[in-house]
Structure 1
Amino acid sequence: MATRSPLATFKDLCIDAVDAGQLAAFWGAVLGLRVEERPDGMTLLVGPTPQHTVWINQVPEPVSTKQRAHLDVHAASVEDVLDLGASPYDLESFRWKVLRDPEGGELCVFEREQVPDYRLYELNVDCADPEPIATWWARVLGGKLGHEDGVPWWWVEDVPGMPFEGIVFAPVPEPKIVKNRIHWDVDTPDLAALVAAGASVVRERDDEIAWTVLADPDGNEFCAFVGE
């Protein structure tokens, strides 16, 4: 059977922030990326490839509820991340450590004996039913669907161009109620194909934005760039 071509390719990540400068400094240090402030006022983190880019988007709304998308990171110790400005949230319940960034957003720290230069491990996304949404994103991005018996989460790995290990979809009981503060961007040759596959249009490309804001079948926002 012929393998279907992916509908999109991974482009980069975006994080909302009330104070873009402060959060950029924190995440740049945590992830091992360089902070860059552009003449147009945009703040971003840059690394060895365009796909390492993390846009820090200034927004007026503070964190108001548990994030449905958060970052998991490598670190030599949780103390290293706390020293950069994080605060402890749950250091006992899991084999990883749950912290909050300076604006209250959750992140998970995985302590390692060997820490890579780029320290983003994976992107974690809450959902009601992990298997169908992980399957959807594996199809869209051309990644490999992953699952192990005895664990409730599913993941997408080996995504072409994505510089971290994977996107993990974990089940939670609560519904999505606010816009995700962390999202990812994609490049696509065919916006209509994404919509036909199950994405919905949140905002059309217009004179103010050069991309289309979509939502996946679970309502997670992502931005699609055509012909970039």
Structure 2
Amino acid sequence: MSPVTWQDLCLDALDVPVMSQFWSRVIGLRIGDPEPPASLRGPSERHTVWVNPVDRPRRAKNRTHLDIDCASVSELVALGATVTAPASETGLGWTRMADPEGNDFCAFVRDPADLAAYRLHGIGVDCKDAEALASWWGELFGADPSQDLEDCWTLTGIAVDERMTLDFNNVPEPRTEPNRVHWDVKGDVDELLARGATHLWDQPRWTVLADPEGNEFCVFPRSGQ
């Protein structure tokens, strides 16, 4: 058994109802419990996205962001997103966008016939050393990272489904703010600390740790622990 398994995803929000409506429609989930922290639900517990209330606005480029499939960029704009860098200008295969609170995400336009009901296909992670961090998380999830581009390492099949990836990218900017996107895992806290995680704080049902580059994540006990 791998040291950790995927549990769910968490997004920070100033306005939980607005952000819950936006992301439920963008990702293709339904709103479960609308009361903060709101839950967005899908076909399995692994699809769950929590929208957590915070009192701090976005003040720096997001070092973790979502990658979304869509039929068109205009449909995301109609839901409340903003285009920050069109693919036609950057020459990249995606359009950089911002959600209603200014959080960065990337939109990949797909043929509507190929568009899945669940449209979150990846999480991008900015890193000082992408290869090292991808390897660290790969050892925890029991997966080998693949190098997709010169500065990008990817883990596949360890999150919601076989299509969803974690993509670790080298960037020059330093980390200055807590992440507004993080994932939760099931595992043993002591084992993760022994493998290089850092303890941040405790909650009644989970423990908040940081990976070797300071990215926050929450650890829940496995069933029977």
Q: TM-score, normalised by structure 2?
A: 0.93
Q: Which whole-Å CA distance do the structure 1 matches of 2:184 and 2:157 have between them?
A: 17
1:18 to 10, 14, 31: 14
2:126 maps to which residue? 126
Amino acid paired to 1:47: G
What residue number does 1:37 align with?
33
Indicate conservation of the 8 Å contact 2:207/2:219, yes or no.
Answer: yes
- The amino acid across from 2:38 in the alignment is T
- 1:194-213 pair list within 5 angstroms: 194-205=192-203, 209-213=204-208
Identity %: 39
In structure 1, stretches of 5+ residues that fail to align are: none
1:101-112 equivalences in 2 (<5 Å): 101-112=99-110
1:89 lines up with 2:87 in the alignment: no
Using the TM superposition, give the Cα deviation of residue 42 of structure 1 relative to its aligned residue in structure 2, in angstroms: 2.6
Conserved 8 A contact 1:33-1:46 = yes
Q: Which whole-Å CA distance do the structure 2 matches of 1:82 and 1:125 have between them?
A: 24
User: 2:143 is matched with which residue?
Assistant: 143
SS in 2 for 1:184: strand
- 2:66 corresponding residue in structure 1: 71
Q: How many residues align?
A: 217
Separation in structure 2 between the aligned mates of residue 179 and residue 222 of structure 1, nearest angstrom: 11
For residues 134 and 153 of structure 1, what CA distance do their matches in structure 2 show?
Answer: 9
Judge conservation of contact 1:144–1:158 (CA < 8 Å) in 2. no
Q: Residue 201 of structure 1: SS of its match in structure 2? A: strand
- Counterpart contact for 2:36–2:51, Cα < 8 Å: no
Letter in 2 for 1:174: E
Distance 1:63 1:89 in 2: 15
SS at match of 2:32: strand
Aligned residue type for 1:138: G
Task: Report the alpha carbon displacement of residue 35 of structure 1 after superposing the two structures with TM.
Answer: 1.1
Q: Where do residues 177-216 of structure 1 align in structure 2 (5 Å cutoff)?
A: 177-188=176-187, 190-205=188-203, 209-216=204-211
Deviation at 1:182, TM superposition (A): 0.2
Does 2:56 correspond to 1:61? yes
Moved segments of 4+, more than 4 Å: none
Please state whether the residue corresponding to 1:37 is helix, strand or coil: coil
The answer as to whether partners of 2:128 and 2:172 remain within 8 angstroms in 1 is: yes
